[in-house]
Amino acid sequence: MRFQSVLIGMALLCIPLQSMSAQADNKVVIAIPAEPPGLDPAMQASAAVSEVVWQNIFEGLTRFDPTGKIVPGLAVSWSREGANVYVFKLRPGVKFHDGSAMTSADVKFSFERNAAADSTNKRKRVFINFAKIETPDPLTVKITTKEPTALLPFFLAEGTAAIESAATAATNRSAPVGTGPYKFVKWVRGDSIQMERFADYNGPVQPHIQTAVFRFMPDENSQVLALRSGQVDYLPYIAAVEAINSLKSEGKFKITQGQTQGVLFLGMNNKKTPFNDVRVRRAMYYAVDAQMVNEGTHGGFGKKGGAQTNELNPYFVDVLGAPKYNVKTAKKMLADAGYPNGFSVNLKVLSNPSTRRTAEILVAQLAEVGIKVKLEVLETAQWLDIVFRHKNYDMTIISHPEPWAILNYTDPNYFYQYDGEKFRALMKKAEASTDEATLKETLAQAQHQLYDDAPSVWMYAMPQVGVVSKGLSGTRVDLPVPAYPVAEMSWGK
């Protein structure tokens, strides 16, 4: 017993020592639940890619500040000349991590690569819309679009618009080379990714932290243990919400409460029976108790969401209104649609703890209205292949934390397979607008139309509840884009 007590005492002593060591080494260890399938944000859709590399290794012409405002990135300024032309002035003296200069030619290369026939860029439609990219000098880019694009500065602040070098683009999936404040060091598969401060970085936010390590920790209990032992300094999203109060009471951590741009939703394959019937999709609004999901999965931290928008979007409209959960109404609507006894479907979800928890709650809720659900849990690579690429599913659960995910619904070939002509027309009109009033009004109409078409069951804005070791400052509360910019972080004295 005496020996055991000594061991426990030594373990407890290690906690502050490890935290002090992190500060002394000017290093931060960040825990994330999913290992990215690769490290090229322009060609890989997973948010796990963006979380690690965006605004760390890679940058875009514009960027989101911590409040969600669009501010200069690699472009120091931009102007819109009429409806179809944007001119960007680049920041001088920018280098890639291999020492080569970043110029307008790299911007042209990156955007043309994103639009290529073999491109897997998630925002490919944005770049296909570029009729012409001109580079009159090394620090000027002039983009002429086929159709007007009022939201272009927003799109260029996402990882899908990363500026890459032609010399290294082919290997960026495994050994990324960007212009960001941190350069890639190593990727230990199944464990972590390490990056170091880039000495020649010339950007808007100068980094303080020397070394950043992103550790992959899918198990929520292991995340909490790693925090308590000092092995992890920052957990941007805590899945084990039941541990929040105890962590707060220990006095070693700060708890941050914000949200992402994601809206948690039950996605339906709109081309497959029975979800090809809008009456069935609308009935699903009444079959799901979003508040129960919020309490059971996210401890009630989820905030008001809308039709794939929330309050972090400057054009958000509350189209969901009051909760609609009503078993009796759902059953009647299903019967009216020809399913008095319900139906059987599959639900294919990612393996992270919160998604599994959400799935279990929804399976029980849908059973109450006669919908029999076969739950299938997939790893990230499997989900991307089966659900995202090949659309081999009936239902799934996802949130899409990237900005302007509402635009995914304009693509009939996206994995929702929603083909909404009225919605597409409204979004096209919004993007063609050249004044703020028209843009705002048309985007509001589009959100109402999307809700009426019911391609998904939106529940609430995804919370971003983080746990931060005391002494570490600059971690983001809200995530307007899926990214954890280390350059904004620093250790206090």
What tens digit of pLDDT does each residue of 83-94 get? 999 999 999 999
Q: Which of 27-36, 331-340, 400-409 is predicted least confidently?
A: 400-409
β-partners of residue 99 are none
CA distance 28 to 211: 6
Domains of the chain: 61-157 (3.90.76.10), 260-462 (3.10.105.10)
Whether omega before 412 lies within 30 degrees of 0, making that bond cis, reads no
Amino acid 154 reads: F
How buried is 287 (Cβ within 10 angstroms: 0-12 exposed, 13-18 middle, 19+ buried)?
A: buried
CA distance 429 to 377: 39
CA 254 to chain centre: 23
The arithmetic mean of pLDDT across residues 247-260, rounded, is: 95
**Predicted confidence band of residue 104 (pLDDT cuts 50, 70, 90):** very high
CA distance 99 to 184: 14
Residue reference for tokens 């029975």: 274
Summarised one tens digit per residue, pLDDT across range 421-437 is 999 999 999 999 989 99
DSSP code at position 389: I
User: 3-class DSSP state for residue 79?
Assistant: strand
- Evaluate if residue 275 carries a pLDDT over 60: yes
CB under 8 Å to 102, separation ≥6 — which residues? 74, 90, 94, 95, 96, 163, 165, 179
CA distance 400 to 260: 9
Whose CA is closest to 61, among 159, 205, 157? 157
Q: Which two tokens stand for residue 492?
A: 């206090």
Summarised one tens digit per residue, pLDDT across range 131-164 is 999 999 999 999 999 999 999 999 999 999 999 9
- Evaluate if residue 73 carries a pLDDT over 50: yes
CA distance 140 to 488: 28
CA 206 to chain centre: 24
CA distance 123 to 42: 9
| pLDDT of the residue at 22 | 62
Percent of the chain with pLDDT over 90: 88
Q: Which of 17-26, 233-242, 278-287, 366-375 is predicted least confidently?
A: 17-26
